[in-house]
Chains A and B, each alone.
Chain A
Amino acid sequence: MRSLLLALVPLLTLASVPVHAAVEIFACEPEWAALADEIGGDKVSTFSATTAFQDAHFIQARPSLLARVRRADLVFCTGANLEIGWLPVLLRQAANAAVAPGSNGFLDASQSVRLLDVPTSADRAEGDIHPNGNPHFQLDPRNLPHIAATLTERLQRLDSGNAAYYDERLAAFNARWTKALANWSTKAENLAGMQVIVHHSAWVYLEDWLGIREVGQMEPKPGLPPTASHLAGLLDVVQTSDVKAFLRASYQNPKAASWLMDRTDIPDIVIPHTVGATDEASDLYAWFDDIINRLLEVNR
């Protein structure tokens, strides 16, 4: 016993905390990592817990993520229960008081936006995963300036020495984003009224922004895998409406969409749900450019 404790001593001393200049940001999803880079510039170093090919509802609380949360100065996540299956475990086990919920080091983006699809009651028979409202709000670009403002304020509290720098970056982002928003709106004018069937209810904010009409979902209930009988029902929906495309995210299984595609003439398209989900969506701006381009392509 004693020898074991003695063996631990060099390990304990070896790992003396390194002084890192940059604010270390643990972003739960790639879009928040991209936004953090946009505002933080070279004063921050960002890490994304999920890739664009992972389903952020269902990843595992891996040891590598624990190690990252342990080092983080700021944990920046979607919230609204999107990460409920793994983030609370990470926060509790990583022993990092600086990023505890309620502290300056924990930023829940859902607190800065208005959530859609907030249910009046929570019943797991209605599917499991959106009990507090739909958490996929990153897909309305009008939400990003609000979140960017909150992020800036947090960065300024954590790193007050660079407060002016963050202000400048925020102003530059807002100026460029405002122009981009205007461009996207003009470009996407014809998308209003377009009808789509989606895999998971991940697109309500995009639909709300562009006026797209969702006439069906491949998941029978949010979070439950598509079933044959439910998909057959969607074929009837296709008959009675003018569906232009089946939408899914890069991490979603293409099987259900292929099944539908084989029985209709309607294309199945991957819409980037975050930065990096397609080759074209290389940064925040290119991401929404690509979303609109892909929708325009099928909306003929």
Chain B
Amino acid sequence: MRARKFVAILACSGLSLWSAQVAVAQQDDSASAAELRAELEQLKLDYEQRLARLEARLAAMESAPAAPAPATGGSALSDKAFNPAISLILDGKYGHFSNAEGLRDLPGFQLGGESGSFNNGLILGESELNLQANVDDKFFAAATIAFESDGDESGAAVEEAYLQTLALPDGFAIKAGRFYSGIGYLNGIHSHGTGFADDPLPYRAFFNGRLADTGIQASWTAPTLLYAQFGVEALSGNSFPAAGAANSGVGTRTAFAKFGGDFNVSNSWLASLSYVDSNVSQRSSGGTAEESGIDPLFGGDSSSWIASLVWKWAPYGNPRDRNFRFTAEYLDRQEDGVLDLDGVTGTYSGDQSGYYLEGVYRFHPQWSAGLRYDTLDADNRVFGLGTPTVLDDNRETPKRLSAMVDFWNSEFSILRLQYNHDDSSLNRDRQWVLQYIMSMGAHGGHSF
């Protein structure tokens, strides 16, 4: 309504202006009559054209529905205006393992505390509460609280709590707080968002699942048609693999470069190269080795490279009915330093690598199936301790083959059955896992 009135006023003022001009022109006797006439004709033409345009605009508005009301609470971006988007994810697992009581250490690797995977029976996996919102026009903030119960123990832990800038110029962004590092591909994905019920061996061995730490990240996205992002991070080093290093509060530093694009309308890719450098002090295993007393404390330097490749296929770019995702990551780590086993010191030099290959095929809107192969290789040199430790690789190459099938009632409820043919520890294991993932609340949207 207001728009129509505005147009009418505009049209009237245009008309009166025109007549005023005409009046002025007529009174002026001294000017050349021809010149004036030409000017007048021009003016007339101008205003006629303008009027015609206004009339057209008015007509278009009249034929359109009455004054549009803004969408009630309608917004492209938030599930609830102003409130943080809240989601709760319940991730539960039931395991049946042939090697129920056995050790699950990976020969040649000192593992972090959480990486001991799970045992027989029903367990509450990493259920998490996620809150996120644009704080204002300059900042986005998110927090993820994970609830875990492991036997008698249960508790909550801050998995992520960070802010991210939204308004830095020229493609720069800063992230600060506790967050999942930008390295690799899988590292940025919460465990309930992956294709399998457990993490691939290299992530378990190198990063205790994920590299998550407190610190700051700076990144820059290039203004190119090829997607290119570069980032560096300075992290406290309180998390594995640094394990509480006191290096003026910056125990871990990372750098990464990511590139991506489309091969065609159905095929897309993302590739990245990442580097992690940590100063390690007093690191011990959090796994079962701790109890067996062959776990030395390690201090020194740990640096890893990660090469990642993701290829996704979706017919004509529609992933909903059918899609295929292939992921491959290769990790390589070099560790050098000193070992301490109950006062006896020795030296340690480790050359370790691992990779996983994973394919997940969605063959029906509600069903998908996947296959994964993951393996590790350690070539460690330990001198001076005199006793065998978890770092002795025993010429073993841990490996595992997994198959899974999952059912999606909707994208908010997933049931998954997984089988692991697990030869990763010294005791071979045949594992069956039944998993459910229930997502409630806001729909966060997924990264590629």
Contact = CB atoms under 8 A, between A and B. Distances in A.
A56 to B, nearest CB: 10
Contact of A1 (B3, B223, B225, B253): B253
Interface string B56-76: 110111011100111111111
A282 B356 CA distance: 46
Nearest to A113: B68
Contacts of A77: 76
Contact of B317 (A54, A80, A84): A54
B224 interface: yes
Contacts of A5: 232, 255
Interface stretch (A172-180, A233-241, A268-276, A285-293): A172-180
Contacts of A193: none
A8 B445 contact: no
B443 A80 contact: no
A129 B311 CA distance: 27
B226 interface: yes
Contact of B318 (A86, A124, A251): A251
A151 B260 CA distance: 31
Interface residues of B, number: 81
A133 interface: yes
B279 to A, nearest CB: 11
Interface string A118-159: 100000100010011100000010110110010000000000
A124 B260 contact: no
A161 interface: no
A15 interface: yes
B76 A12 contact: no
Contacts of B63: 142, 178, 181-182
Interface stretch (A37-45, A96-104, A210-218, A259-267): A96-104
A174 B57 contact: yes
B445 A111 contact: no
A54 B316 contact: yes
Interface string A63-107: 110111011000001111111111111011111110011110000
Contacts of A95: 168, 171-173, 219-221
B314 interface: yes
A170 B259 CA distance: 39
Q: Which 5 A-B pairs have the closest CB atoms?
A: A63-B260, A171-B53, A79-B76, A175-B56, A63-B227
24 contacts: A51-B317, A55-B320, A60-B448, A62-B268, A63-B260, A63-B448, A64-B260, A66-B221, A66-B260, A86-B446, A94-B221, A95-B168, A96-B221, A101-B134, A108-B76, A110-B76, A111-B71, A142-B65, A145-B61, A145-B64, A175-B52, A178-B56, A225-B366, A253-B321
Interface of A: 1, 4-5, 8, 11-12, 15, 17-18, 50-51, 53-55, 58-64, 66-68, 70-71, 77-89, 91-97, 100-103, 108, 110-115, 118, 124, 128, 131-133, 140, 142-143, 145-146, 149, 167-168, 170-171, 174-175, 177-178, 181-182, 224-225, 251, 253
Interface of B: 3, 52-54, 56-57, 59-61, 63-65, 68-77, 79, 134, 137, 140, 164, 166-173, 219-228, 230, 232, 253, 255, 257-262, 265, 268-270, 275, 277, 303, 312, 314, 316-321, 365-366, 410-412, 443-448
